[in-house]
Structure formats: structure tokens, C-alpha cells
Structure 1
Amino acid sequence: MENNNIQLNGKDDPEKGLKRTLKTNQLSMIAMGCAIGTGLFLGSGLAIQAAGPSVLLSYALGAFIVLLLMGCLAEMTVAHPTSGSFGAIAEKYMSPMAGYLVRYSYWIGNVLAVGVEVSAISVYMRFWFPTVPGIIWIILFAGALIYVNATSVNTFASFEYWFSFIKISAIVGFILLGSYVLIGSSAPSSIGPENLVNAGGFFPFGWWGMWVAVFISLFSFIGTEMIAVTSGEAKDPDVAVPKALKATVFRLSTFYVLTIGIMLMIVPWKTAGIEESPFVKVMEILNIPGASGIMNFIILTAALSAMNAQLYASTRMMFSLARRENAPSILGKLNKRNVPANALAVSTTGIIIAAGVHALLPGSSYAFMMGISMFGAIFTWLMVFVSHLFFRVQWEKTGGRKLPVRMIGFPYLTILGAVLLFCLMITTWFTDFKIMLQFGVPWLLFLSIAYFVSKKRNSFVHPEQELPKQKID
């Protein structure tokens, strides 16, 4: 029986060269940085418009799906800590084509998500500079973050750590301030729990509205899977990855439900939108001098943080594709600082797309970019669940080592997660977010054709490349 406990040596590892220096707290902050972005601060306005106060249930259900996802991902990532992550795992346990589709879909999703964040940045800067064209801010901030990603993984991690620290501190402060307004002060009659049932009740758009908002809530949680991508540069994946995943899911769930709940009790849900962050509206209603400007700065930091993390994720996924000979080999090269600079350059195309969309659709660029960027992430999440079904069976069959973390309720909870995600994907066809499927289905067809064409051109069969596995001391 094959033993899956040995560490592959450097010459067999297609992703060799990346330095394993990231620690548990850095992994958590990177994942939080990617997830706490415009999904909470700006995208929450879209979710509230779709569901009303029942958006609280939407975010709770979204958090449950992510909890199931992280359980599957933690187990597989500890077994195979690599920057190729879920793409490499799908390749090994399902098929090379599955790995190809996952890697490229996740790459394009993150590339376009960079465009979502940079589009949001132009919205935030309008708060201070209403007459300056948004394209100026897109170019300025994009250049700065490309420089950060082009230096070293530790430089990236340091920036991301402090970006995330600012955001988390701000959210905690918002929760404390909002709680004081609701409980510890003489609040105006227009502020209080009654806002959760005024103007149509808790379910103003019925269960359908709540269900549609679950999809929007998932955009807020996208980025938690970043821990799996960073595992290829983690110092001790066996310990760091499970801890970081658990901490991230718990913090995100708490932050989202508490902050949105407080916000809904202060701001009437009908006033929430995407022209201005609902969080800024809260500060304006409370009449705190300068508070709306401070909050806008924090939200700007959140968008920059998410954009920074998404540039990292898309770069590492393109690097993995190149090392697996599914992209030009030049994209798999590292510079003298052990950074895949060529892959980074290609992954900045989302910024160019965002700039073009912003110029063509200045009033709706955020919602449009959000819709098309979602497909790559949701498809990847769906494939994580499917891959886990194959992984667990084969891992036990081939005598894999006892892993420090295992998904509970297998296979039922894994299947439940996959079914919920698939149903949400189908749901988007009947909403304003059908652009996701209109983009995603042709994208998968294009990738499938590209895969078979590239495979046919190869006149020889490449030897199977193994995933790196953790060494047993």
C-alpha cells in the first residue's frame, strides 16, 4: 500500500522556490484582509436592498456554508500544503482537467475581484474629492500595491497584517460605538430594534429575498480560502493552517452578523445602497464630528487590503499553472526575491478591465464587476466540496497518515455544502446577478476547449507530478 507521508524532495516539487516563512497570525490576517473588503463595507448595501432586515439570516447561512467549506479545505490543505492548493488537489484526486479548470477559474475570479476593489476605491475617494476622475485613483493605488507584491512575501504579509489590523480595530470600534448608541445612551426614537421590523417587517421580500442575499453575502466571505493558497509559503502548515482557518471563520461570522445587525437598527434598511457605504451613513446619522471621514478612510483601507491579498492569490495561482505546464513557462519564474514577478504582471489585467468598465459604466461598474468576479470563486468553492469527496476516499484507501484536522459529518456535510452552493449558482439566473452565469458558463466552455487543444498539441505524455506532502518527524 502506498504511503502518503513522505515529503517530496525539491526536484519533484513543481512549485519549489517559494519560501516557507508565513506564520499563523500572518495567515489569519491575510485571509481576513482578503475577506473583509468591499463585501462588508459596500456590498452589504446590495444585500440589504435584496433582503431587508432578513439579511441577517442571509449572512448567517452564508457563514454556515463557509464553515463547511473551511472544514473540507483545512483537511486537504494540511495533507497537501502548496500554492496550487485546491487546483493541485482537484488535479490529483479528480483529473488534470479539473485542476486546470479550477486554477484558471480561481485566477480569473481574483483578477476580476481586484477590479471590484479598485472600482470601490474610486467610490470611496469621491467622498473627499468629488470632482477628481475615478481613473486617477485606480492608477495611483494600483501602482502602489503592485510594488508591494513585487518585493517579497514578507513585505506583502507585513502590509496585509497592518491593513487587516486597522480594519478589525475599526469594526470592533463600530460594534462598541453602535452598542453604546443602542443601549447606553438616550437614542432618538428613529433608532432601535424596531427598525428590524418596520417598513415591511423582517421579511419585506419574503424568503426569496433572503435566499438571494445569501449569494451576495458569499461575496463578503470570499478570501477565506486564501489560507490554502498561502500554505505553500507557510512555516508550519500542520499547525498554522487549521488554527488560521478556525480563527478566520469565527471572526468573520461574528463581525458580519454583529456589524450588520447594529447598522440595521441605526440606519433604516431602505436607505442602504452602494452610492455610499452604509457604515458612513451610520456615522453621518450619529452626527459624530469627522467620524464619517474617518470611517471612509478605514473602508478605503479595507478595499486596499482586499486588493492586495487578491493580487497575491491570483499571482500564486498563475505561478502554479505555469509550473504545471498549463501556462507559459516564463510565468513560473521567480525573481531574485523569490517572487513570481511575471505572474504578477499578468494578474494585474483586472485593474485594466476595471478601468475600462469604470469608463463605460461609471454608475454601475461595482455591481457589474462583482457579478462576473463571483463565478471564479463560487465555482472554486464548489470544486473544493467535490474534490473533498474524492480526497477522503483515496487518502484512506492509500494509507494516508492521520491528519491533525478532519471534516466532520463526512460525506453528508460535504454534499450539503456542494448542493447549497450549486443551488445558489442556479438562483443567480433569476436575479440581477445572472451576469455571473452569462460570463461563467462560456468561460468554462472556453477553458475546456483550450485544455483539449493544448493537450492535443503535446506529442508526449508528461509524467504524473505529485503534490507535496507534509513530512512526519
Structure 2
Amino acid sequence: MDTSLSIEQQRGENSKLNAGLKSRHLTMMSIAGVIGGSLFVGSGSVIHSAGPAAFLAFLVGGILMMLIMRMLGEMATSSPDTGSFSTYADRAIGRWAGFTIGWLYWGYWVSLMAWEAYVAGKILNGWFPSISINVFVLVTTLALLSINFFNVKNYGEFEFWFALIKVVAIICFLVVCTLAVMNIWSIGEVKGVSNLTAHGFMPNGIAPVVGAMLGVMFAFLGAEIATIAASESENPAKQIIKTTKSVVWRVGLFYVGSIFLIVCLVPWNDPMLGQSGYGSYRRTLELLGVPGAEFVMNFVVLTSVSSCLISAHYTASRMLFSLASRGDAPSCFKLTKANTGIPMFAIIGSCLVAVALALINFSEVLRPKDILDTLMNMTGTIALLVYLVIACSQLKMRRKLEALGGDMPLKMWLYPWLTWLVIIFIVVCLIMMSFMPDYQVLVVSTGAAAMVLALVGVIHQARCSKRLR
């Protein structure tokens, strides 16, 4: 045995990720990152509460996400890192900030895994009612999580094909709806744009539209995965620039465009939109007379949640790996297998939490759906906090890069004024939501969790600084 090697290397372990993702993997990830199950399933409740003006919430959310991606792209092209914005917060704001947002983000993705598995289990149970939904949830979780235990290119391949199905499905949806809006589609009950204003554009006032931002932010969070995955590709900076520049048309076409078409065709007060898990896309296809709309949309949603579950596990494991690499998580999580370059212990750690949350479904005392719904409702606030940290980090890192004369292949527009505008907008939204009865508990509870993590981060930073003296 070669004694010059470390114990980890002798065991086939190191602390470096391999570049196993190809350009086409990252391209499809960047497209699919904003097409999750929440778009197909959750948008119905947003429209039902805010009316046709829900379109504005998606429009504003899309613009916000576009600006955030531009800021993130500026930092990531200058210094690609698997920890992405958590690493940049560490460098720009302080170690406590990177610690806080990193663990919050990790918690978001492991919670999302359980929610996506529940949705998949519910769909499969509808197709095979003789098998318990609990069995489907657990089997789905274990089967999909196993993909990330192999070479990262396997994840890239699965995500590529899952993403392709989602993209094709939503393009077909856009084509059919556009024909209906133009009065060319002759089948079904609806056509034209009359429902955009016939029942009131903003029937419940501005408050539900502002509150809808939480649901919209939950739907949009995921576009940044490409900047995390890019660190495992051959040319990270080039891929990040490509992803960031394409985010405008992706958001405009897939999200804002499709929601606009839906509110034109479907009355906002349609009782089916208010049903949990029914989905605005399914209801639109039904009213358009598309045969087998329920099965088609259930298949698309099943594909979407499967894709999101795999991506959630990948992202959670890489964030945990990054935290460990910076000394903000147990050191075992930064070890990677020498032959595959995957962070095995970070994958196992994230997997165990996801399986534990999936096992909640077997409890006869707890109410699994209520617990998962609460976790998912909190994620909208987490998304806004992540965006706030990205904006604050970019504000400081840009100054440092300019002072050092560093290379910036991609720059944020109208710096620093547009960055400040984004920061102010997010803070105002959070303050407004904290006074709204429907969102108060979610915003305050998520804020409290963030403050506790921040306090732990400050203590951790102080201890690390003391050791270095």
C-alpha cells in the first residue's frame, strides 16, 4: 500500500467532483429547471385566489427570477462553485450567511423530495387503487433516489429525457391554447380571451396577488440548479452564460405565456381550480375538449415530479458537499468516490432525511398531507430569502471584483441600481406578507427558522475564527 496517499485516497475516496455532465444535459436542465410539478398542480389555486391577475404575479416573479439569475450568473462565471450562492454569500457577506442560506436551501430540497414522492404516489394510487399510496411513496422515493448513487452522467441522462417530455408537453399545450384564443380551435367549451376580464381581472383585490408571490416563487425556485451543476461540466463559465441568457425566453414562454393563456380561457372562479391537486392545465384541456386530459396531465405531472425528485436529491447532496468542504457540515460529507467523483456520504445523508419524511405517510397519528403541505408552503418564503441573499452577495462581490480588476464574462444590468431595486422589492413583499393573515404564520415561522440558523452560523463563525488565532 502506498503510504504517501491519505487514508481517504487509499479507500478510494477524495474531495473532488468529476466533470461528468455534458452540454446537452445542462441545456435541458436549464430549460426544465422552471418546469416543475408545482407549475402543473399548484398554479390552479393561485389563479383561484388571485383571479386573472395571477398572471401579474407570475410576470413579476418571472422578471425577479430573471434578474436574480443574471446576478447569480455574474458571480458564477467569475468563480464557478458547486455551492453556488451559498459560497458567494460566505465570501461576500460572511461565513454565517453562507452557513444559514446553505442549510435553508438544503432543507428546502429534502422537503421537496418528500412532497414530490407524495404527488407521484397519489397519481400511481389513482391508476392502481389496490396498492396503498404509502407503498407507492416509499418505492418511488427509493427507486428515484438510487439514480444519484452512480456516476453524475446518469443523473444528467435521466434529467435530459424527463425534461424533454415536459418541454414537449408544454409546447403542445401552448399550441392548442393559442389556437383556442385565436378562435381556430373549434372543439370544447371555451375560446377567445373573454375570461380575462369577464368575471373581474382582480376580483379579490391586490392582497391575494401579492400573496400569490409565495406560490410563484416556489414554482420558480430551481432555475439556479444549472449554476450548481455547471461545476461538474467541462466548461462551467460557458454553460452558465448560456443558461443565464436563455432564462428570459424560457420564463416568458413556459410560465408567463401558459398562465396568460389559461386565465384567458378558464374562468378564475371555476370550482375545479380550487381543488387541491386538480391543476389548471388539466382543467384547461378538459374545457378545450382534449380527449384523455386527466390521464395525459397525470402522466406529465408524474414525469415532472420524478424529474424534480431526482434533481432535488442531486442539489441537496451537492449543497451538503459544499457546506462540508467549507467546514460548515461534518467533514465526511465532503468525501467523494475516486472512481466516480460522487459525494457518496452527502448523497446518503440527504437520502436518509428524504426517506424519513416519506415514512411519515405510514403514520396513523400524524397527518402526512398537512405536514407536507406546510413544508411546501414555507418554501416560497425560503425562495425569497435565497433571492435576497443572492442580491446582497452580488452587490458586495461586484465591488470586490471591480476593485481587484477581476474578469467578469457576464455582468448585471444597471448595477447597482437594479440590484438595490430587487433588494427593496423583496423586503417590501416579505413585510407585506407578514401582515396578511393567510401568509403571516408562514413568513414569520420561516423567518424564525432562518434567524435560528443565522444565530448558529454566527456562533460557528466565531468558533472557527477563534481556532485560527
Fold match, TM over 0.5? yes
Structure 2 distance, partners of 1:16, 1:320, is 10
Q: Please give the residue correspondences for 1:232-251 in structure 2 after superposition, counting only pairs within 5 Å.
A: 232-251=231-250
Partner of 2:333: 331
Question: Which of residues 358, 377, 396 in structure 2 aligns to 1:371?
Answer: 377
1:431 CA drift (Å) = 4.5
1:119-138 → structure 2 map (5 Å cutoff)? 119-130=118-129, 132-138=131-137
CA contact (8 A) 2:78 2:409 kept: no
User: CA 1:73–1:54 in structure 2 vs 1: closer, same or farther (change >3 Å)?
Assistant: same
Q: Secondary structure of the residue that 1:342 maps to in structure 2?
A: helix
Distance 1:365 1:45 in 2: 21
Aligned to 1:39: 38
Partner of 1:382: 388
Give the equivalent residue in structure 1 for 2:426: 421
Residues 1:431 and 1:124: Cα distance change in structure 2 (over 3 Å): farther
Cα distance in 2 for partners of 1:91, 1:145 equals 32
1:144 and 1:431, CA in 2 relative to 1: closer, same or farther beyond 3 A?
farther
2:4 corresponds in structure 1 to none
User: 1:114 aligns to what?
Assistant: 113
How far off is 1:373 after superposition?
2.7
How many residues align structurally?
447
Give, in whole Å, the separation in 1 of the partners of 2:361 and 2:402. 48
1:153-173 CA deviation, whole Å, 9 max, x = no partner?
Answer: 100011001111100000001
Residue 345 of structure 2 corresponds to residue 342 of structure 1: yes
After TM superposition, the runs of 4+ consecutive aligned structure 1 residues lying more than 6 A away are none
Residue number in structure 1 paired with 2:402: 396
Match of 2:195?
Answer: 195
Deviation at 1:300, TM superposition (A): 0.9
SS of 2:244's partner is helix
Structure 1 segments unaligned to the other structure (5+ residues) = 1-14, 464-473
* Residue matched to 1:471: none
8 A Cα contact 1:51 1:213, kept in partner: yes
The residue type equivalent to 2:421 in the other structure is L
Please report the TM-score for the alignment, with normalisation by the length of structure 2: 0.88
The CA distance in 2 between the partners of 1:38 and 1:322, in whole Å, is 30
Give distance in 2, aligned partners of 1:203 and 1:265: 13
1:108–1:373 Cα contact (<8 Å) kept: no
Give the letter aligned to residue 163 of structure 1: F
The answer on whether the counterparts of 2:216 and 2:380 sit within 8 Å (CA) in structure 1 is no
1:90 deviation in Å? Answer: 1.2
Cα distance in 2 for partners of 1:387, 1:458 equals 21
Work out which of the residue numbers 303, 319, 322 in structure 2 matches 1:320: 322
What amino acid maps onto 1:116 in structure 2? W
Q: Secondary structure at the match of 1:279?
A: helix
Residue 91 of structure 2 corresponds to 92
Deviation at 1:109, TM superposition (A): 1.5
For residues 63-96 of structure 1, the C-alpha deviation after alignment (integer angstroms, 9 at most, x for no partner) is 1101110110111000110101111111112211
Which of 301, 304, 326 is the matching residue for 2:306? Answer: 304
How far the C-alpha of 1:316 sits from its partner, in A, is 0.3
Q: Please list the CA deviations of residues 308-358 of structure 1 after superposition, one character each: whole Å capped at 9, or x if unmatched.
A: 111111110000111111111111111242111211122131453254279
Paired with 1:204 and 1:459, the residues of 2 have a C-alpha distance of 55
- In the alignment, is residue 262 of structure 1 matched against residue 261 of structure 2? yes
Tell me by how many angstroms 1:28 deviates. Answer: 3.1
CA contact (8 A) 1:152 1:339 kept: yes
Check the 8 A contact 2:378/2:446 in 1, yes or no. Answer: yes
Distance in structure 2 (CA, Å) of the matches to 1:222 and 1:256: 13
Query: Which piece of structure 1 moves more, 416-425 or 168-177?
Result: 416-425
Any conservation in 2 of the 1:23–1:240 contact (CA below 8 Å)? no
Counterpart position of 1:179: 178
The letter of the residue matching 1:161 is F
TM-score (norm 1): 0.88
Q: Which stretch of the first structure deviates more once superposed, 156-165 or 247-256?
A: 247-256
**What letter matches 1:196 in structure 2?**
L
CA 1:195 to 1:158, structure 2 compared with 1: closer, same or farther past 3 Å? same
Q: Distance in 2 between matches of 1:351 and 1:409?
A: 45
> How big is the alpha-carbon RMSD for the aligned residues of Structure 1 and Structure 2?
2.4
Q: Provide the C-alpha distance between the structure 1 equivalents of 2:458 and 2:32, rounded to a whole number of angstroms.
A: 37
The verdict on how the C-alpha distance between 1:19 and 1:188 changes in structure 2, with shifts beyond 3 A counting, is closer
Q: State the 1:191 CA deviation.
A: 3.8
Contact map agreement 1:112 1:372 (CA 8 A) in 2 = no
Match of 2:96, SS state, is: helix
Q: Give the drift of 1:126.
A: 4.4
Q: Supply the distance in 1 between the matched residues of 2:64 and 2:221 (Cα, whole angstroms).
A: 11
Match of 1:440 in 2: 446
Residues 361 and 197 (structure 1), Cα distance of their counterparts in 2 relative to 1, 3 Å cut = farther
Instruction: Go from structure 1 to structure 2 and tell me whether the alpha carbon gap of 1:462 and 1:362 turns closer, same or farther (over 3 Å shift).
Output: same
User: Residue 296 of structure 2 aligns with which residue?
Assistant: 294
Which residue of structure 1 lines up, in the alignment, with residue 356 of structure 2? 352
Contact kept? 2:57, 2:210, Cα under 8 Å: yes
Select between 56-65 and 37-46 the one with higher mean Cα deviation: 37-46
| Contact 1:358-1:365 within 8 A present in 2 as well | no
What percent of counterpart residues are identical?
28
Question: Do 2:15 and 2:335's aligned partners in 1 also have CA atoms closer than 8 Å?
Answer: no
State the secondary structure of the residue aligned to 2:412: coil
Distance apart, 1:453 and its partner CA: 4.4
Q: Cα deviation per residue 1:429-458 (whole Å; 9 max; x = unaligned)?
A: 314333433432332233234334445655
What aligned pairs does 1:206-245 form with structure 2 within 5 A after superposition? 206-245=205-244
* Contact preservation (8 Å) 1:376, 1:440: yes
Which sits farther off after the overlay, 204-213 or 362-371?
362-371
How much does 1:396 deviate? 0.8
